[in-house]
Amino acid sequence: MTRAADRLLDAIEEKKNPSVVGLDPRIGLIPEHIKEEAAGEGVMPFEIVHNSLVKFNYAIIDAVKDIIPAVKPQMAFYEQYGSWGVKAMESAITYARNRGLVVIEDAKRNDIGSTAKAYADGHLGMVEISDKTFVTSMGADFITVNPYLGTDGIRPFLDSCKEYDRGIFVLTKTSNPSSGEIQDVLTGDGVPVYELVAGLVNEWGKELMGTGEYSSVGAVVGATYPREAERLRELMPNTIFLVPGYGAQGGTAEDVMPCFDQQGSGAVVNSSRGITFAYQKEAYREDYGPEEFAEAARAAASDMRADLLEALEKSGKLPKGW
């Protein structure tokens, strides 16, 4: 298999689209007809939820698979439904990967070394299920991780990345309003904590370089903090940025431009609700009913691509041939 950084950047180049669709299903927002199809005599409530999530995700994936390079299931929205939800996420990962999409699992996992290894094995590598028999459990291409425990909590993920050609995105400067409470605190050296994390990300990334300039150790940098992103882009020249916060959280295409390098590479921008539930948004509601939620998602994904490409063009960063 090619290295994870290469797979992601190649997919972006192939689709000429640096965006990722977040698969964050909320049962309350899934169209009624999907839930009706998912139900049936003897089908238990959590199974109906599972079936609804699966049907919804498959339809979204089919609708956007030829125009987007990657999907990002947010594990919280599956895990909240317990094992049935996690089962639905496993299906989404497999379905998306079988259709050539790169899968970034947003799980923000973290623990001490021996425990982090269990997360790394399960999400990126293989788990031993009986004597000397190892199988793939979840099998994502990338997973997001939290750096608060330092290097030995990250090490097992790096090992899995190396062995199975996978990647991670390390929370560096997150998109939420209170991210600064810890991340922006100035250390005695006068640099904020997120820059200190950037230094760790650089170190971790060295052992997982792709064939080009980028490593399979990426960073999460929120669209809502463009100034910080600009500084982080300088500090982390070999790090792909996974950029949440575009759309629903208020980040604009202009805001995310500092996340890209001068050639318009090195970043992938996420939108979740704005795409998957576009059918409920004013901009699409008139043209698409609940039955056409997948078509609405495709239109929204296409509009997001156009928005990003326009901003890349304006900032002189549009990749050649796009």
Interface of this chain with a copy of itself, residues 278 to 317, rule: CB under 8 A: none
Closest by CA position to 72, among listed 55, 35, 97, 109: 97
Per-residue contact track with a copy of itself, 144 to 163, x per CB under 8 A?
Answer: --xxxxxxxx----------
Q: Output the smallest distance, CB 313 to a copy of itself, in A.
A: 30
The residue behind tokens 């049907």 is 55
Residue from 2, 43, 99, 182 that binds a copy of itself (CB under 8 A)? 182
Distance CA(206)–CA(210), nearest Å, equals 10
Binding residues among 121-140 for a copy of itself as defined by CB under 8 A: 121-122, 127-131, 133, 135, 137-138
Using rule CB under 8 A, residue 29 touches a copy of itself: no
55 counts as catalytic:
no
Locate 111 and state its tokens: 């623990």
Nearest distance, CB of residue 82 and a copy of itself, angstroms: 5
Q: How far is the CB of 134 from a copy of itself (least distance, A)?
A: 11
Selecting among 87, 108, 162, 281, the annotated active-site residue is: 108
Q: Give CA–CA dist 92/94, Å, rounded.
A: 6
State yes or no: residue 193 binds a copy of itself (CB under 8 A): yes
Query: Pick from 229, 130, 127, 215: which is nearest to 168 by CA?
Result: 215
| Interface positions, 214-273, toward a copy of itself (CB under 8 A) | 244, 249
Position among 17, 160, 174, 265 found at the interface with a copy of itself (CB under 8 A): 174
What 3-state class would DSSP assign to 86?
A: helix
Provide DSSP, 200-233. Answer: HHHHHHHTTB-SSS-EEEEEEE-TT-HHHHHHHH
Q: How far apart are CA 305 and CA 303, in angstroms?
A: 5
Residue 56 found at the interface with a copy of itself (CB under 8 A)? no
Binders in 197-216 for a copy of itself, by CB under 8 A: 197, 200
Q: Distances in Å between the alpha carbon of 265 and those of 10, 217, 239, 309, 314?
A: 11, 15, 10, 12, 15
Residues 100-119 that bind a copy of itself (CB under 8 A): 108-113, 115-116, 118-119
Among 179, 265, 270, 271, binds a copy of itself (CB under 8 A): 179
Q: Is the dihedral of CA 62, 267, 265, 163 positive or negative?
A: negative
Using rule CB under 8 A, residue 43 touches a copy of itself: no
Q: Quick check: 239 and 218 in contact, CB under 8 A? A: yes
Q: Which CB atom, from 27 or from 59, has the smaller least distance to a copy of itself?
A: 27
Q: Which of 4, 23, 24, 238 binds a copy of itself (CB under 8 A)?
A: 24
Residue closer to a copy of itself by CB (options 167, 192) is 192
Q: Which is nearer to a copy of itself, 112 or 306 (CB)?
A: 112
User: Under rule CB under 8 A, how many of the chain's residues touch a copy of itself?
Assistant: 72
Angle at 90 between CA 305 and CA 165, to 5 degrees: 70
Dihedral sign, Cα of residue 237, residue 229, residue 144, residue 310 = negative
Q: Which residues have a catalytic role annotated?
A: 108
